[in-house]
Amino acid sequence: MSGEALPEASVSADAPAASAGTPVLRVRDLKKTYVVGFMRKKVEAVRGVSFEVRPGEIFGLLGPNGAGKTTTIKSILRLVHPSSGSIELFGGSPADPDVRAKVGYMPENPYVYQYLTPREFLDLCGRLVGMGKKERRDRAEAMIDQVKLRHAADRPIGKFSKGMMQRVGLAQALLHDPQLLVLDEPMSGLDPIGRKEVRDVLLAQRDAGKTLLFTSHVLSDVEVLCDRVVILRSGLVRASGELRELVRAEVERYELELADVADPLEAALAPLGELVRHPARLHLTLGERADVDRALALAMEHGAHVVALRPQQRSLEELFVEQTTDAAAP
Ligand SMILES: Nc1ncnc2c1ncn2[C@@H]1O[C@H](COP(=O)(O)OP(=O)(O)OP(=O)(O)O)[C@@H](O)[C@H]1O
Ligand SMILES: [Mg+2]
């Protein structure tokens, strides 16, 4: 958590009535400069970030270490004071307690009381958000089951593994049944089974009509979960949009797989692209659609069989690397 005091409503926007079509979250030209140390050195953590999160979607905030993800999230939740820009939550100000009550937050490093058990900790969290005794107990038990912590529900959290700690953090974020879940690196510290379990919890939330915003480095999780993403680097948006569109945007290569290829055909295909010979198959990687047509015509002519023609899509990992390496700098 930041040590900064919570600011008054300094980046609120006009608050139109929320409606079905109103974004759950609207971030406009957000900037945050930290001033550090005696020399008052400036760190421009976020340098003009805009995006919107729509009702019912899973939105991913991606980027390498230090990109500004946590600062963006803390700004949205008013845990740090943005330098400029506007943030609207549910069409209103994030400073409004009624708006905040609709948000569940799991921090990057959940702060939990070491000597409390998950049951006690969740009870405390429920008290802090003003839940009654029965509601607290019912919700805490339901959350303990949801994050699969029943076996450890009465053990002190201080003895938990990182993965178990993450689950306590997740249970805490879900406790008051928020409309929007904001999760900072929810998969970190989890083994593959733990990641799948958290993924399933998040998907169940989406299926229940909730909206999710999360940061992650684990691109396979992002690829499975997210509807839309923003990729940040050095405090700026490098790419944004629907995940499927982003990874599909540039189909630059095609892979043609052929069987029954005799030597003359192989020689004719060689100039068109990159050939890889397997015992019974030939793989040809082609850069252009016109070359695909030529290769197919040659294959037909020589009596070869087309086993498959696959567009080679960029993976999220490739996109991520492209957008977050020095070559992508403006
Ligand atoms: N409280 C702070 N005071 C000063 N500088 C900070 C503070 N918090 C973050 N920074 C700096 O701001 C930049 C963005 O940090 P931030 O934690 O937002 O990145 P991140 O994308 O969440 O990174 P990570 O993937 O490591 O969690 C970094 O250069 C970081 O060192
Ligand atoms: Mg972070």
At 73, the amino acid letter reads: I
Cα 99 from Cα 308, distance rounded (Å): 52
* Ligand 1 closest atom vs CA 68: 18
Cα 75 from Cα 91, distance rounded (Å): 16
Q: Between the CA of residue 32 and those of 43, 48, 63, 103, 317, what are the distances in Å?
A: 8, 8, 17, 22, 27
Lowest mean pLDDT among 159-168, 263-272, 300-309: 159-168
Q: What is the pLDDT of residue 9?
A: 34
Q: Which run of H or E residues covers position 258? A: strand 253-259
162 and 212 share one domain: yes
* Helix, strand, coil in percent for the chain, rounding step 5: 35, 25, 35
Ligand 2 centre distance from Cα of residue 314 (Å): 26
74 and 193 share one domain: yes
Q: What is the pLDDT of residue 17?
A: 38
* Ligand at shortest distance from the CA of 71: 1
The reply to whether ligand 1 has any atom less than 6 angstroms from the CB of 287 is no
Determine, yes or no, domain membership for 9. Answer: no
Ligand 1 centre distance from Cα of residue 30 (Å): 15
Name the closest-CA residue to atom 12, ligand 1.
Answer: 45
Contacts of 302 (CB under 8 A, 6+ apart): 261, 262, 264, 265, 268
Name the closest-CA residue to atom 13, ligand 1.
Answer: 45
Cα 2 from Cα 79, distance rounded (Å): 7
- Best residue among 4, 70, 323 to mutate for probing ligand 1, ranked by most atoms within 8 Å of CB: 70
The reply to whether ligand 1 has any atom less than 6 angstroms from the CB of 69 is yes
Ligand 2 centre distance from Cα of residue 68 (Å): 7
Lowest mean pLDDT among 27-36, 104-113, 150-159, 164-173: 104-113
pLDDT of 182 over the 90 cut: yes
Tokens 């949801």, residue? 146
Lowest mean pLDDT among 100-109, 112-121, 143-152, 313-322: 313-322
Final residue of a structural domain among 214, 232, 247: 247
- Best residue among 43, 44, 62, 232 to mutate for probing ligand 1, ranked by most atoms within 8 Å of CB: 43
The reply to whether ligand 1 has any atom less than 6 angstroms from the CB of 109 is no
What confidence tier does 4 reach under pLDDT thresholds 50, 70, 90?
very low
231 and 288 share one domain: no
**Sign of the C-alpha dihedral, residues 101, 104, 108, 109?**
positive
What confidence tier does 256 reach under pLDDT thresholds 50, 70, 90?
very high
Find out whether 235 and 47 touch, Cβ atoms under 8 Å.
yes
What value does the mean pLDDT take over residues 281-295? 91
119 and 231 share one domain: yes
In 41-139 the beta strands, taken as DSSP E runs, fall at 41-53, 58-62, 84-89, 103-106
Report how far Cα 285 is from the mean position of its chain's Cα atoms.
32
pLDDT in tens, 206-254: 999 999 999 987 777 888 889 999 999 999 999 898 887 777 666 678 8
* Ligand at shortest distance from the CA of 42: 1
140 and 287 share one domain: no
The reply to whether ligand 1 has any atom less than 6 angstroms from the CB of 45 is yes
The reply to whether ligand 1 has any atom less than 6 angstroms from the CB of 32 is no
pLDDT of 48 over the 60 cut: yes
> What SS3 state is found at 103?
strand
164 and 265 share one domain: no
The pocket of ion ligand 2, defined by CB under 5 A, consists of 69-70, 108
Cα 274 from Cα 231, distance rounded (Å): 32
pLDDT of 74 over the 90 cut: yes
Task: Show the CA angle centred on residue 147, arms to residues 144 and 151, nearest 5°.
Answer: 55
Find out whether 214 and 125 touch, Cβ atoms under 8 Å.
no
**Quick one: how many helices (H) and strands (E) in the chain?**
11, 13
pLDDT in tens, 294-330: 999 999 999 999 999 987 766 777 777 777 776 544 4
The reply to whether ligand 1 has any atom less than 6 angstroms from the CB of 43 is yes
118 and 196 share one domain: yes
Determine, yes or no, domain membership for 318. Answer: no
Q: What is the pLDDT of residue 326?
A: 62
Determine, yes or no, domain membership for 129. Answer: yes
Task: Show the CA angle centred on residue 248, arms to residues 246 and 253, nearest 5°.
Answer: 130
Cα 216 from Cα 238, distance rounded (Å): 16
208 and 301 share one domain: no
Final residue of a structural domain among 225, 247, 269: 247
CATH code of residue 175: 3.40.50.300
Q: What is the pLDDT of residue 2?
A: 40
130 and 261 share one domain: no
What value does the mean pLDDT take over residues 115-119? 94
Q: Can you give the residue range of the structural domain that contains 288?
A: 252-312
pLDDT of 171 over the 90 cut: yes
pLDDT in tens, 27-41: 999 999 999 988 899
Ligand 1 centre distance from Cα of residue 32 (Å): 10
What value does the mean pLDDT take over residues 163-186? 92
The reply to whether ligand 1 has any atom less than 6 angstroms from the CB of 107 is no
Ligand 1 centre distance from Cα of residue 274 (Å): 43
Q: What is the pLDDT of residue 327?
A: 52
Q: Which of 242, 247, 243, 260 is nearest to 299 (CA)?
A: 260
240 and 261 share one domain: no
What confidence tier does 45 reach under pLDDT thresholds 50, 70, 90?
very high
Name the closest-CA residue to atom 30, ligand 1.
Answer: 66
CATH code of residue 261: 3.30.70.980
Q: What is the pLDDT of residue 250?
A: 61
pLDDT of 20 over the 70 cut: no
**Sign of the C-alpha dihedral, residues 264, 308, 280, 278?**
positive
131 and 196 share one domain: yes
Final residue of a structural domain among 247, 263, 279: 247
What confidence tier does 113 reach under pLDDT thresholds 50, 70, 90?
confident
Q: What is the pLDDT of residue 162?
A: 81
Name the closest-CA residue to atom 11, ligand 1.
Answer: 45
pLDDT of 144 over the 70 cut: yes
Q: What is the DSSP letter of 210?
A: -
Determine, yes or no, domain membership for 322. Answer: no
Determine, yes or no, domain membership for 19. Answer: no
Q: Which run of H or E residues covers position 282? A: strand 281-286
pLDDT of 194 over the 60 cut: yes
Q: Taking the CB of residue 311, how many other CB atoms lie within 10 A of it? A: 12
**Number of domain units in the chain:** 2
Q: Identify the bridge partners of residue 62 per DSSP, sorted by sequence position.
A: 216, 231
131 and 115 share one domain: yes
Ligand 2 centre distance from Cα of residue 188 (Å): 11
Ligand 2 centre distance from Cα of residue 139 (Å): 29
pLDDT averaged over the chain? 86
Determine, yes or no, domain membership for 15. Answer: no
pLDDT of 3 over the 60 cut: no
